Amino acid sequence: MENVINNKIGVSFYLKKMSHDNSVTKRAVYATIAYAGTSAKMKTGFVCADPKNDWRRGMFEGRRFSDCNLQLLVIKNKIESFDTRFCKSATHIKNLYNGVKIEDIPMTILEVFKESLERKTNGKKDRVKRGSLTNLKSAIKVFQLWMRYTQRPDFGVVQSHPHKIKKRLIEKFYEWDLERVQEVTANNHILLLHTLYELFHKSNHGDLEGLVPNPFKGIIGREEEQERVKKALDRCVDWKWIEKIENLKYELAKGIAINKVELWDKYWIHERKHDVNLRAVKNEKFRLLTLILAYSGLSFAELGKADVLSVTRTMNGGKVLSGRRVKTKQVYTIPVTPKLEALITEMGPLPWQPFVDKNLNVDYKRKDCTYHLFWKYMKKVLTEQIGWDEDYDLTPHRLRHTFAMRQLNHFGFSLMIVARMLGDDEKTVRKNYANHDDNAISKAFNEEMAKFIKKQKEKDDNSEGEVAV
């Protein structure tokens, strides 16, 4: 009998402060639901204008509030009449009152992934970037592949499930994934699945009794922000390879000026009839583009903007490329060296018509095709011609890391300045770089470059002196 009493639903009403302004005396009427050692707060929609005189012992005071009190009692009676056999917590009861059905909540990990993916897109694919959506779906497919490979059933997400999902299971999945792909890819799978489960957990932890905490949490060790950035930047290309690319020249047919060629034209890009001249034009364009990425730190996505290579002057006379990153929308400011300016001039029109318009609507078909052609050139044509012998492929994004590490280690620029050049993530920019405008970045660059040149001159002078002696 005692257990029955303890598991009864209790409902009481109280007044909640409506404003931080103490002069506002009106208070909102809230309900407290108590059940099985849990509690939940709920709005009733009523307001008490004069708490001192009109509220006493959890109800309105006075005959003029008879209708209000009657409606509060209706709420109380409805909640207390729920069949407690199907109630798991006070929050669950609250949601039942608001029309949420327990059978609508996913109970297995694959159902969780599906629901969270739908919630992120809200039924509309354009709510999430195409790349992000593709990555989420890919992570789910990999997890399903592991389940099939290891002949595991769909895991439950509540403690009472016979095949409850556990952190140890996720560790096994991670170990399996590491044997198939590079560490960075396996880590990304864990982070994406962590995001999907966390979205579900935050929404339903009060509705499902014994809901399993996020099992994907803590699988990958978290590094300090700067250490993480430095580690990412370590994936750079030795500058000797960039010098080899600079020395590589393609023989063009007489009369062809490379900076006059709009390479996106199918006549050039697809090398009709495998014409050697057409291939040379395309390869030379792509070679110049490779060097521009190495000397600017731009990502591939930025190259789709019509004005991405438009050089502007700052107040102190410095030349920069500036804009917002397509991926993060963060500002970047890239000082234009004489070498970079010469490459831009020699390059002429980009290898494709802009695939990102001013409203950031992406022509994915053109973008994907362009990236594939450029990546194919770098991986198969360029690497063979320069004698590439590294373990990792030469990719456009590695050139971004190369630029960053060269600024940090070769020229000695601060992490702060380099991060602004790259257009780093919002958190880092806000914390460290918010006060640096284009003029400040250009000025700092010129100062640091002058120091570098001075050091090099002093080094050369000392070397000459040693030889003379």
Q: How far apart are CA 20 and CA 17, in angstroms?
A: 8
**Percent over 90 (pLDDT), the chain:** 26
Give yes or no: residues 451 and 327 share one domain. yes
Give yes or no: residues 130 and 275 share one domain. no
Q: Tens of pLDDT along 167-222? A: 999 999 999 998 888 888 888 899 999 999 998 888 777 666 678 899 998 888 65
Q: How many domains does the chain have?
A: 3
Distances 14 to 69, 74, 96, 140, 306 between C-alpha atoms, Å: 13, 16, 21, 46, 60
b/e 32-53 (16+ beta carbons within 10 angstroms → b)? ebebbebebebeeebebeeeee
Give yes or no: residues 359 and 264 share one domain. yes
Q: How far apart are CA 375 and CA 377, in angstroms?
A: 5
Give yes or no: residues 245 and 323 share one domain. yes
Distances 148 to 68, 143, 153, 353 between C-alpha atoms, Å: 58, 9, 8, 44
Give yes or no: residues 386 and 251 share one domain. yes
CATH code (residue 447): 1.10.443
pTM: 0.52
Distances 455 to 262, 300, 461 between C-alpha atoms, Å: 42, 34, 10
Instruction: Identify the domain containing residue 17 by its residue range.
Output: 2-102
Give yes or no: residues 203 and 169 share one domain. yes
Give yes or no: residues 295 and 395 share one domain. yes
Give yes or no: residues 120 and 82 share one domain. no
Please tell me the predicted confidence (pLDDT) of residue 1. Answer: 34
Structural contact between residues 8 and 84, judged by C-beta atoms closer than 8 angstroms: yes
b/e 405-443 (16+ beta carbons within 10 angstroms → b)? bbbbeeeebebbbbbbbbbbbeebbeebbeebebbbbbb
Give yes or no: residues 141 and 63 share one domain. no
Q: What is the mean pLDDT of the chain?
A: 79
Give yes or no: residues 362 and 263 share one domain. yes
Q: Which residue has the higher pLDDT, 96 or 43?
A: 43
Give yes or no: residues 140 and 236 share one domain. no
